[in-house]
């Protein structure tokens, strides 16, 4: 079966009846970019820019940032790349960002929140991204991490557009953002669901604690319901919504996410062939039925079993 399914992956994501789902790779380095393209990625749905500066003890200059981003973007010339602005905080420390220690770092000043009292940091990064995009010919969009409200999305969108960004988006990583999906999407051009964080905030279960893995399972019906809300808002607003968390690399869940209205899936490059093959096994209407079953299940394990049963039936 493995051989048969691998043969059905042609580097362009689609269900068996031709409904396109962009298959993208998550990247943070030139090595990742090369691996992504070797694996057949159609582009990148998440470039984690903080990975470029893990050792920097002072803020990289605009020129240094431009060079670092251009190196990762260059292999993607002519292809779409979603660049994420710095995602750091007490839970993901960057040596050059002096953030205070916090009792609950996952609930603290992280992601876009870091930029609220240092907008210059964000503006310098946006300028560097825009010039790196021009240098390389990659089709660049920019999104912000850890957005909670439509007002925050509007604040980010205004700064990004002023910097010359053509397509602006936000990550949906908080239940608040998902619950206000329509208003959020009216401020930006697209959204990308970060299921790693959205799962931890939905079930209030720290993603770093192994004992809570079941609550962090992306098959949790509560999480899938938030994804469904985003799928509906995406249709209503004609603004695409993607997924860039680990959930996208589970072949069965990838199809379910497509059934919920997700237009693109961004994952670790190694997962692309199996996800591409699984997606191409069934038509969109079957993935929609699998999604309906999963969303109404009483727990994560049952959601997975019910989705599987639809495909096997």
Query: Residues in the site for Mg ion, rule: CB under 5 A?
Result: 173, 194, 197
What's the angle, vertex CA 84, arms to CA 79 and CA 87, rounded to 5?
A: 155
244: contact with ligand PEP by CB under 6 A:
yes
Nearer to Mg ion, 145 or 276 (CB): 145
Residue 306 near which of Mg ion, ligand PEP, none (CB within 5-8 Å, type-dependent): none
User: Which residue among 43, 45, 150, 194 contacts ligand PEP (CB under 6 A)?
Assistant: 194
245: contact with ligand PEP by CB under 6 A:
yes
Site string for ligand PEP, 251-290 (x = CB under 6 A): ----------------------------------------
CA distance 187 to 69: 26
250: contact with ligand PEP by CB under 6 A:
no
Residue 143 near which of ligand PEP, Mg ion, none (CB within 5-8 Å, type-dependent): none
Nearer to ligand PEP, 262 or 280 (CB): 262
48: contact with ligand PEP by CB under 6 A:
yes
- Minimum CB–partner distance for residue 48 and ligand PEP (Å): 6
- Minimum CB–partner distance for residue 253 and ligand PEP (Å): 13
CA-based nearest residue to 188, from 225, 142, 138: 142
149: contact with ligand PEP by CB under 6 A:
no
Nearer to ligand PEP, 15 or 200 (CB): 200
- Minimum CB–partner distance for residue 243 and ligand PEP (Å): 8
Binding region for ligand PEP (CB under 6 A) out of 51-59, 74-82, 193-201, 280-288: 193-201
Site string for ligand PEP, 71-110 (x = CB under 6 A): ----------------x-----------------------
How long is the chain?
Answer: 313
Residue 48 near which of Mg ion, ligand PEP, none (CB within 5-8 Å, type-dependent): ligand PEP
State the residues that interact with ligand PEP by CB under 6 A. Answer: 46, 48, 87, 173, 194-197, 244-245
């Amino acid at each position: 079966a493995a051989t048969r399914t691998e043969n059905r992956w042609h580097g362009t994501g689609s269900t068996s009846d031709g409904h396109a789902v962009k298959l993208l790779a998550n990247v943070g380095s030139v090595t990742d970019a090369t691996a992504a393209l070797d694996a057949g990625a159609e582009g990148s749905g998440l470039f984690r820019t903080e990975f470029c500066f893990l050792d920097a003890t002072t803020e990289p200059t605009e020129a240094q940032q431009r060079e670092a981003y251009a190196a990762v973007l260059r292999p993607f010339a002519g292809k779409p790349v979603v660049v994420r602005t710095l995602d750091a905080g007490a839970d993901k420390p960057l040596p050059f960002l002096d953030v205070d220690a916090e009792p609950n770092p996952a609930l603290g000043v992280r992601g876009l929140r870091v930029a609220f009292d240092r907008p210059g940091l964000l503006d310098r990064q946006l300028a560097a991204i825009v010039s790196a995009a021009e240098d390389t010919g990659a089709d660049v969009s920019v999104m912000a991490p850890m957005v909670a409200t439509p007002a925050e999305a509007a604040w980010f969108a205004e700064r990004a557009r002023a910097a010359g960004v053509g397509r602006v988006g936000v990550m949906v990583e908080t239940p608040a953002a998902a619950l206000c999906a329509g208003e959020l999407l009216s401020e930006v051009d697209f959204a990308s669901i970060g299921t790693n964080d959205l799962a931890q905030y939905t079930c209030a279960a720290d993603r770093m604690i192994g004992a809570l893995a079941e609550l962090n399972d992306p098959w949790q019906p509560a999480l899938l319901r938030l994804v469904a809300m985003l799928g509906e808002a995406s249709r209503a607003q004609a603004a695409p919504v993607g997924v860039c968390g680990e959930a996208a690399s589970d072949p069965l869940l990838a199809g379910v996410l497509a059934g919920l209205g997700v237009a693109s899936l961004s994952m670790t490059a190694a997962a692309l062939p199996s996800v591409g093959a699984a997606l191409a096994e069934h038509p969109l209407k079957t993935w929609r039925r699998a999604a309906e079953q999963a969303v109404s299940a009483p727990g994560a394990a049952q959601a997975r079993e019910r989705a599987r049963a639809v495909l096997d039936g």
